[in-house]
Amino acid sequence: MSKIAVTLYGREYFVNCDPGEEARLQEIVKLVENKMQKVADRAGNTTEARLFMLTCLLLADEFLDIRRNTGNAIKQDEDLLVAAVNHLQQRVAHIASQVGRA
């Protein structure tokens, strides 16, 4: 287990992560820091705890949108696959009927 120092909103924290995951953790910290800055710009003068809470809510909202959109895309892909299989079944049946007449 590696212990990494990360900085969020000017405050340093120490976080454990699995070996080899340090770069991923830094990428996550950068994303959260950028969101915190955006929230701070919009929220104005607020407490650090409230800033963290608002940032968590923003990230959760984005996550739910992504999950919903992914679910919709999967459903559309499934519908296309079913339609393609049905079309292929009809083509095979048509070809089989033509071969039977030959």
Full-prediction pTM beyond 0.75?
no
Structure tokens at 55: 């940032």
pLDDT value at residue 102: 62
The string of pLDDT tens digits covering residues 53-69 is: 999 999 999 999 998 88
Question: What is the extent of the structural domain holding 46?
Answer: 2-73
Contacts of 60 (CB under 8 A, 6+ apart): none
Q: Is residue 33 part of a domain?
A: yes
CA dihedral in degrees (21, 27, 29, 35; nearest 10)?
-150
State the residue for tokens 């705890």. 49
Q: Is residue 83 part of a domain?
A: no
The string of pLDDT tens digits covering residues 76-86 is: 888 888 888 88
Q: Is residue 95 part of a domain?
A: no
Q: What is the domain count for the chain?
A: 1
The answer to whether the CB of 26 falls within 8 A of the CB of 18 is: no
pLDDT value at residue 44: 87
Segments of the chain scoring below 50 in pLDDT: none
